[in-house]
Amino acid sequence: MNLKKSFLIALVISVIGLACWEIYWRSHGKYPTLNDDKSLWAMHRADIETATKDDVVIFGSSRAYFDLQLSEWEKWTGIKPIQLSSTGSTPLPSFHDLVNNTNFNGTVIIGVTPGLVFSTTYPFAEPWQRIQSKVDHFHNRTYAQRINYKLSVLLQQNLVFMSGDEELWADDIDLKALLRRINMKSRTKDPIMPPFYYFGDVSIERNMSMTARTAKDTTFANKIIDVWKYYGGGAHPPDKENTMAFLLEDVNKFKEKGGNLILVRCPSSGGTRIGENMGLPRAEYWDDLVKKANVKSYHFEDYDQLKDLTCPEESHLSKEDANYFTRELIKIMLEDGAITNLKTN
């Protein structure tokens, strides 16, 4: 009887404690969010196993993730793409996985962020390792992990305190994140990374959209820009030779399968765009890739309706502009015969 009573007391205290913790964070403007992690990526990577010639798969870094909106794509083409972009990553390992480990020969869109696509082929470099870890998780995950993830999604979507993204956001609320907020004096003279705040919400379908705060609060957006400046200042020189060779080999394999590959250069603006023009000139990188890949390609600067789009934090479009960009890009592609509108077939 005492054991039962002790259990009930502990349960009540735990429920009250969790409720207070949840209420506390909601009172500070937090809301339930889905974690953009390797399990979510793997769940959609599995969709390729049953995909058909009509399907569309998107690879890329965060720009292709933020700027290509799945609902708009489905609305205008009748097809909901499989979104496999990954923040801060080169698309080379994930595209390589599709080409070499699947029979898929539909449409693949690769978002080309020059600083990441041409960054490296070194397997332990961060841009490579970030996405390769997701690919590895897909191939190695157990049934227990799959079930555990599906059960966790319901909690993530309804409880704020379940937030625990793989990205080390400065405003995360899990225990590790709270401990990281303790300021410790640096023992070296190396530049200290500015706080990197959460600025995009992801859905269960892996549709990423910029938060309203980032789009409307210029002070907050400038904090994200500070992070881009930090990364730009410490970036390693691009490895064009090896990245081009690696990518083009897979491009040729995919074309031999009968696949339809499309390259897309999503918008950037402000100082970030200036830095890209200086460090990775279009003629030397994008134009050369397009010429050697010999596939349909679309650069935002080539179209009057797209070239003046402004990114609130210089690198990604707001949700409203991302919907517009997706819609206009689809019109351009349809007119060019690059994709098919199933709604008219």
* Domain-located, residue 255: yes
Q: How far is CA 40 from CA 36, 83, 84, 204, in A?
A: 6, 11, 10, 7
Pick the closest to residue 309 from 77, 67, 54 (CA basis): 67
Residue range 191-211, pLDDT digits in tens: 778 888 899 999 999 999 999
* Domain-located, residue 20: no
* Domain-located, residue 14: no
Question: Using CA atoms, how far apart are residues 310 and 321, in angstroms rounded to an integer?
Answer: 9
Inter-helix orientation angle 126-140/38-45, to 10°: 60
Confidence of residue 1 (pLDDT cuts 50, 70, 90): low
Pick the closest to residue 207 from 341, 47, 322 (CA basis): 322
* Domain-located, residue 168: yes
Task: Report the domain count for the chain.
Answer: 1
* Domain-located, residue 142: yes
Q: What amino acid is encoded at 168 in this protein? A: L
Average the pLDDT over 261-281 and give the result.
96
Of 275 and 182, the structure prediction assigns the larger pLDDT to 275
Pick the closest to residue 111 from 274, 316, 344 (CA basis): 316
Q: Are 173 and 21 a contacting pair, CB within 8 Å? A: no
46 is in which domain, residue-wise?
30-180+195-344
Q: CA 310 from chain center: how many Å?
A: 19
* Domain-located, residue 9: no
Cα separation of the two ends of the chain: 70
* Domain-located, residue 93: yes
Pick the closest to residue 131 from 85, 99, 165, 166 (CA basis): 85
Q: Are 127 and 239 a contacting pair, CB within 8 Å? A: no
Range with lowest mean pLDDT among 96-100, 177-181, 189-193, 283-287: 177-181
Q: Of 139-143, 169-173, 185-189, which one has max mean pLDDT?
A: 139-143
Question: Using CA atoms, how far apart are residues 333 and 317, in angstroms rounded to an integer?
Answer: 20
What's the CATH number where 157 sits?
3.40.50.1110
User: For the chain, where are the E strands, in sequence order?
Assistant: 56-59, 82-83, 107-111, 200-202, 208-210, 260-265, 296-299
Question: Using CA atoms, how far apart are residues 123 and 146, in angstroms rounded to an integer?
Answer: 26
Question: Nearest 5°: phi and psi at 243?
Answer: -70, -40
Report the pLDDT value the prediction gives residue 7, as an integer from 0 to 100: 83
Question: Using CA atoms, how far apart are residues 113 and 86, in angstroms rounded to an integer?
Answer: 12
Residue range 215-243, pLDDT digits in tens: 999 999 999 999 999 988 878 899 999 99
Residue whose tokens read 């083409």:
77
* Domain-located, residue 264: yes
